[in-house]
Amino acid sequence: MTALELITLLSQAIYVVIFLFVGVRYLRAPTPAHLDMTVFFGILAFVVVEQRIATALGIVPPEWFTDTVIAAVIALPYILLRLVDDFTAVPRGVKRGAELLLIASIASAYVLPGPTLPPLYVLLIVGYIAGLSFYCGFRFFRAGLRAQGVTKRRMQAISLGTVLFALDILAAGIGGQMSEPWKTLLAAIGQVLGLAAAVSWFLGFAPPPILRRAWQAPALRQFLARAANLPRLPTTRDIVSELERGAAAATGSEARIGVWDDDILKIRFWPPSGEPTDVEPGRYFSGRAFEQQKTLFSAQPARDDPEAADTYRSANVGAIIATPITAGEKRLGVLVLYAVRPPIFAVSDAELSQLLADQAAVVLESRALIDHAARVRAREEATRLKEDFLSAAAHDLKTPLTTVVAQAQFLERKATRDPSAPSDLPGLQRIVREAQRLSALVTDLLDAARMEQGRLTSDREPVDLGALVSAVASRQRAGAHTVEVDVKGAVVGNYDGRRIEQLLENLIENANKYSPNATPVSVGVWQQDGEARIAVQDRGIGIPASDLPRIFERFSRASNVDDRRFHGMGLGLYICRGIVEEHGGRIWAESEIGKGSTFHVALPLSEERRLN
Ligand code: ADP
């Protein structure tokens, strides 16, 4: 056997293999595209096998048979055109023209007497087959440019195969009409081209799984790269739209993801705009794929799902692949891919869809786990806070309460023993002081609870901060500390006066409380950058830098305060922050341990003040 014969044998064997492959696929998924492929390679395989048998047995077939074989070969590029049409739209004019030429060519093949056909006729037929094949090759190439992933690669391979086939036909047709040595040379070139076309078509129409996976890899990698960070997006809806974008980019089609909602027992889809739509399991393609837990493909959605036929028609949906998104036993949702035309390669598209759905399952499942962990953490946190709260509140209420009870019992015993004795004023004053502390603690607790609901402050009215600071400071002067006030001009804003007073009292009381050496405390009020500013400065114990960020949190106390020396629950600054923030302002502290602290407050000024 010569090398050329081997090449011919090889290409012919490939045609037969492709025919068997696409034939089986057609039986499994009888779509128009699969039918066209089967017919195309069926003709090629038939011609090849028929010739081999005839040569081997030395049979000369009757003329009608040869004519039929020729007619079938002439029909090949037309079937290719139909394949192009299965994937993209071929203009009507081109289709009708190709059909007319086809009928004319086939009719003439029967009419003209055999066995040798007139050279002009042969050249015309060759021109028709090659021309139409070139056109198809070009259209496949264009479709490949628009497609993504595996489909793109397969389109490219088919486009190449089709162009090589056209060249093969040209070489064979022209060579047949020439004399030696051109005849042999062109025949040899034709055979090599034929083999190259067969290999390209094989890769395009029946790629081995390993190649398919390699072609899928880039699309998947891209999808995975995006998927890695998705579970941390703020909402499931954000994740779903990102997944949809990724799936659309990987498949070159429209992608929608429905997420199973356990509360309503439906699959929920969020369209890019508008209200979500809910689908019951078993309804439409999405519901059916979800219920049956298998990928569904339809090249005629309007026929296969009459209930939604109008929607498919108006949205120009020509093909659907619906794949369940499932993690282990857990049914999470469904991925639906929509295309204007049925993808030629429904099987590999369904494979890709399955891979994407698996990835989506991982992302959605991680999201569910993160949500679950957050809920558990929140519950633990709430429990911890409640425990903290109870122990802090119980502890802080207990101390003054013990004093009040003990002092009151002591006075009671004294009065019982000697009813005429003069009243014990210092003892009564202690009861009053401790009862006031108790009352202040309970007020703080109530305020903290109000703050949780964001309703700490109420009606606003113009308040002059300078006047308010002076009033609060003069009340505080009674203590061991001197409070210096420095007010720069009128600083007026619309505030809840009572709460701002509470804020100032808290800050000045803290400054006094945490400055045991009776050092002076100064309070400044001024305007800066269109804001009202207050600063309360002391030269007390200071706050460790590591504690500064959290002293405004609930029940938070700095590590340098000794509970026995400085009473407190750690609610004062928390309430201060609530008051300031409800007014749209900011509060922060600067401090140096052992040197003192400054608490800053910035509040919005009233409108007319800010303009000045
Ligand atoms: P409390 O005074 O009841 O502990 P606060 O919320 O008012 O609660 O203050 C929280 C913590 O911030 C205090 O425990 C203390 O550690 C620290 N702190 C507040 N003000 C000052 C200050 N002027 N100087 C030093 N530390 C302070």
pLDDT digits (tens, 9 = 90+) for 175-231: 877 788 888 888 888 888 988 988 898 888 888 878 877 887 887 788 888 777 787
Specify whether 7 is located in the same domain as 87.
Answer: yes
Q: How far is the CA of 567 from the centre of ligand 1 (A)?
A: 10
Q: How far is the CA of 429 from the centre of ligand 1 (A)?
A: 26
Residue 379: exposure state from Cβ atoms within 10 A (0-12, 13-18, ≥19) = exposed
User: Residue 94: is its pLDDT beyond 50?
Assistant: yes
Specify whether 182 is located in the same domain as 252.
Answer: no
> Would you say residue 107 lies in a domain?
yes
Average pLDDT over residues 379-384: 83
Question: CA–CA separation, 152 vs 425, rounded Å?
Answer: 96
> Would you say residue 62 lies in a domain?
yes
Q: What is the pLDDT of residue 401?
A: 86
Residue nearest to atom 19 of ligand 1 (CA): 510
pTM score: 0.54
Which of 207, 234, 256 lies at the terminal end of a domain, its last residue? 207
Q: How far is the CA of 587 from the centre of ligand 1 (A)?
A: 14
Q: How far is the CA of 611 from the centre of ligand 1 (A)?
A: 36
Q: How confident is the model at residue 612 (pLDDT cuts 50, 70, 90)?
A: very low
Ligand 1 pocket, mutate which of 573, 580, 588, 593 (most atoms under 8 A from CB): 573
Specify whether 313 is located in the same domain as 193.
Answer: no
Q: Where are the alpha helices (DSSP H) in 315-459?
A: 346-417, 425-452
Q: Which domain holds residue 277?
A: 225-372
CB atoms within 10 A of CB 374: 10
Helix (H/G/I), strand (E/B), else coil: 516 = coil
Q: Which residue has the higher pLDDT, 541 or 64?
A: 541
Q: How far is the CA of 594 from the centre of ligand 1 (A)?
A: 14
Specify whether 202 is located in the same domain as 239.
Answer: no
Q: What is the pLDDT of residue 150?
A: 77
> Would you say residue 321 lies in a domain?
yes
Which of 348, 372, 396 lies at the terminal end of a domain, its last residue? 372
Q: How confident is the model at residue 535 (pLDDT cuts 50, 70, 90)?
A: very high
> Would you say residue 158 lies in a domain?
yes
Residue nearest to atom 2 of ligand 1 (CA): 568
Residue nearest to atom 8 of ligand 1 (CA): 570
Specify whether 202 is located in the same domain as 273.
Answer: no
Q: What is the pLDDT of residue 550?
A: 92
96-122 pLDDT, tens digit each: 988 898 888 888 877 776 666 677 888
Q: What is the phi/psi pair of residue 590, to 5°? A: -120, 140
Q: Which residues form ligand 1's pocket by a CB distance below 6 Å?
A: 510-511, 514, 538, 540-543, 551, 556-558, 561, 568-574, 597
Kindly give the number of the ligand 1 atom that is closest to the alpha carbon of 556. Answer: 10
Question: CA–CA separation, 55 vs 57, rounded Å?
Answer: 6
Q: How far is the CA of 557 from the centre of ligand 1 (A)?
A: 6
Q: How far is the CA of 497 from the centre of ligand 1 (A)?
A: 23
Ligand 1 pocket, mutate which of 388, 507, 510, 593 (most atoms under 8 A from CB): 510
Average pLDDT over residues 347-356: 80
Mean pLDDT across the chain, nearest whole number? 86
User: Residue 298: is its pLDDT beyond 90?
Assistant: no
Closest CA relative to residue 183, chosen from 195, 172, 170? 172
> Would you say residue 396 lies in a domain?
no
Q: How far is the CA of 393 from the centre of ligand 1 (A)?
A: 16
Question: CA–CA separation, 293 vs 324, rounded Å?
Answer: 6
Domains held by the chain: number: 3
Residue nearest to atom 13 of ligand 1 (CA): 557
- Longest Cα–Cα distance of the chain, Å, equals 149
> Would you say residue 423 lies in a domain?
no
Kindly give the number of the ligand 1 atom that is closest to the alpha carbon of 568. Answer: 3
Specify whether 159 is located in the same domain as 229.
Answer: no
Residue nearest to atom 14 of ligand 1 (CA): 557
Specify whether 252 is located in the same domain as 182.
Answer: no
Q: How far is the CA of 573 from the centre of ligand 1 (A)?
A: 7
Average pLDDT over residues 431-446: 86
Specify whether 257 is located in the same domain as 172.
Answer: no
The share of the chain scoring above pLDDT 70, in percent, equals: 96
> Three-class SS string for 553-600?
CCCCCCCCCCCCCCCCCCCHHHHHHHHHHHCCCEEEEEEECCCEEEEE
Q: How confident is the model at residue 611 (pLDDT cuts 50, 70, 90)?
A: very low
Residue 465: exposure state from Cβ atoms within 10 A (0-12, 13-18, ≥19) = buried
Q: What is the pLDDT of residue 224?
A: 81
Specify whether 280 is located in the same domain as 307.
Answer: yes
Residue nearest to atom 21 of ligand 1 (CA): 510
Highest mean pLDDT among 38-52, 525-539, 543-557: 525-539
> Would you say residue 220 lies in a domain?
no
> Would you say residue 128 lies in a domain?
yes
Specify whether 203 is located in the same domain as 315.
Answer: no
- CATH number for the domain harbouring residue 583: 3.30.565.10
Q: How confident is the model at residue 359 (pLDDT cuts 50, 70, 90)?
A: confident
Residue 92: exposure state from Cβ atoms within 10 A (0-12, 13-18, ≥19) = exposed
Specify whether 326 is located in the same domain as 290.
Answer: yes
Specify whether 61 is located in the same domain as 168.
Answer: yes
Which of 156, 175, 207 lies at the terminal end of a domain, its last residue? 207
| DSSP summary character for residue 243 | H
Q: What is the pLDDT of residue 240?
A: 87
Beta bridge partners of 297: 321
